[in-house]
Amino acid sequence: MATPSPRRAALLYIAVVLGVSFALEAYMIGSAGGLRAFGGYGAAVLMWVPGALSLVFRLVGREGLRDVGWRLWPWRYLAWSFLIPAGCASLTYGLSWAVGVVSFDPPARVLQQGGSPLMTWLVAIGINLTLGMAWSTLVALGEELGWRGYLVPRLVRGGIPAPLVVSGLVWGVWHLPMILFGDYATSRLPWLSGLQFMVVVTLAAVVFGWLRLASGNVWTAVMAHNAHNIIYQGVFDRWLNGRYERFFAGEQGLFSMLAYGLVVLLLWRRGSLAAALAQERGEGADQVQ
């Protein structure tokens, strides 16, 4: 089989990944109401669909693994991959705290155990940022092999307009069945949760895509994905709550949109996005064509 053009490969990949993922999500929702009944394993399986299919596409299309971006350097991008999501999460919850949207509200099981809730939270932060990050690396790698390791470079080389935005829209749509019909919505208004999520995930995809393209390193996207999930969900979301938290805080809140929006604006104003896209277009001909 001849190696497909980047545009054709990207569009076909999007169609196949969404088709397979929607079928799997429909089964999970129809049989158990969503992801929670399957524990962490259900999410891990679903998150590996994009990665597994990207490997199939590479094998069938004889594209090889060279352009995945396995190298770990430059190290500064790995640092940014942690610091940017950590900064966005801190700004999100810092603003939410400042305006009274959230307050410290430990889980009930922590209060039942006695002791210092604050100390327990600090211990939980340490566990999340070590063991949690290690486990999250395994599952996030599945998504990132697909989204940033395979799809984004082909969207760029294929001349798709606003490729990082397109990758974010695809990434968001991939989540929508679980938000609209399953148990991934953050409020009792799934349509609003879905709309908020689409905005945040598209902005985050621009940042993650920039990290991948600027560094030539898929591990930056894995680290950013890890840091986002762990810090938003594990460090803050379970411990800081309020009546309107789901609309302002959390990974789908208005302040999260603001935080990632500011990063995207900074990257655009500095010319960093344009430089990363130009770099990928220049390197792509030797690797995939």
Which pLDDT value is given to residue 108?
79
Question: Quick one: residue 107, left, alpha or beta (phi over 0 = left, psi -120 to 50 = alpha)?
Answer: beta
Average pLDDT on 242-253 reads: 89
Instruction: Give the CA radius of gyration of the chain.
Output: 19
Crossing angle for the helix pair 75-98 and 190-215, to the nearest 10 degrees: 150
25 within 8 A of 17, measured Cβ to Cβ: no
Q: Residue 240: phi, psi to the nearest 5?
A: -120, 120
Q: Residue 241: phi, psi to the nearest 5?
A: -135, 165
Q: Residue 103 contacts by C-beta under 8 Å, 6 or more apart in sequence?
A: 97, 240, 241, 242
Residue 187 banded pLDDT, cuts 50, 70, 90: confident
Average pLDDT on 37-41 reads: 82
Which pLDDT value is given to residue 285?
40
Q: Residue 34: phi, psi to the nearest 5?
A: 145, -155
Which pLDDT value is given to residue 2?
63
| Highest mean predicted confidence (pLDDT) among 165-174, 238-247, 280-289 | 165-174
The verdict on residue 54 lying in a domain is: yes
Separation CA 276–CA 217 (nearest Å): 12
Residue keyed to tokens 């076909």: 12
The verdict on residue 147 lying in a domain is: yes
The verdict on residue 1 lying in a domain is: no
Average pLDDT on 221-240 reads: 94
Q: For the chain, what is the domain count?
A: 1
Separation CA 137–CA 227 (nearest Å): 9
Residue, of 73 and 157, whose pLDDT is higher: 157
Average pLDDT on 123-151 reads: 92
pTM, rounded to two decimals? 0.92
Which pLDDT value is given to residue 287?
40
Residues 90-116: tens digit of each pLDDT: 999 999 999 999 999 888 777 777 778
Which residue in 270, 272, 288, 133 sits closest to 209, CA to CA? 272
The verdict on residue 281 lying in a domain is: yes
Domain housing 166: 6-287
% of the chain with per-residue pLDDT over 70 = 97
Asked if residue 284 has pLDDT above 60, the reply is no
Which pLDDT value is given to residue 1?
55
What SS3 class is residue 241? Answer: strand
Which residue in 220, 24, 34, 225 sits closest to 135, CA to CA? 225
What average pLDDT is seen over the chain? 91
Residue 211 banded pLDDT, cuts 50, 70, 90: very high
Average pLDDT on 234-263 reads: 92
Residues 7-31: tens digit of each pLDDT: 999 999 999 999 999 999 999 999 9
Separation CA 272–CA 214 (nearest Å): 8
- How many residues does this entry show for the chain? 289
DSSP string, 20-64: HHHHHHHHHHHHHSSSGGGHHHHHHHHHHHHHHHHHHHHHHTT--
